[in-house]
Amino acid sequence: MRIQSIFFAALALTLFVVSGFAQSNVIDTLMQGKEYKLPPLDTSLRSKSSGFKSSETEQANTKDYVYMVQFDALADFDAAQSRRADLQRRTGLTIQLVFDSPFYKLRGGSFTKKEDAEDQVRQFAENNIQSLVVKVQINKN
């Protein structure tokens, strides 16, 4: 009888402790209001030249490309559609769903300068929206 009561007391204590940690974490309590924020982008730190010289043909071909913000690459079409609707609501952008086997890629925005696309990605990161810059060829038909 004594062993059963000790067992149930230990079980009750374990459930109490586990339920307390499920609601809030000690780290969350310590860091509340002190989350790390990205510093603002200082445009003076951005280099104007990469240090590499490109040929004239490369410079002429850069007009055939735009920079876009890519949010996700998902294998499931239904999940991609759901994520697309969520991203359109959160970002205000029109999100394109592009099938590039085997993934459905979610992209938005169209920038002629890579720096502008990077600034947009940084702004999304401040709002906890993960994204990256991709270079996309324009179809000239």
Q: Is 86 helix (H, G, I), strand (E, B) or coil?
A: helix
H-run or E-run covering 70:
strand 65-74
Flag whether 53 is in a domain. Answer: no
Do residues 66 and 133 share a domain? yes
Flag whether 55 is in a domain. Answer: no
| Residue 5 pLDDT class (50, 70, 90 cuts) | confident
Flag whether 38 is in a domain. Answer: no
Report the Cα–Cα distance between both ends of the chain, in Å, rounded.
85
> How is residue 81 annotated by DSSP?
H
Q: pLDDT (tens digit, 9 = 90+) per residue, 16-60?
A: 655 555 555 555 555 566 666 666 666 655 655 544 454 444 444
Q: pLDDT (tens digit, 9 = 90+) per residue, 107-139?
A: 998 999 999 999 999 999 888 889 999 999 887
Q: Which two tokens stand for residue 7?
A: 């067992």
Do residues 66 and 131 share a domain? yes
Residue span of the structural domain in which 112 resides: 62-137
Q: Is 53 helix (H, G, I), strand (E, B) or coil?
A: coil
Flag whether 50 is in a domain. Answer: no
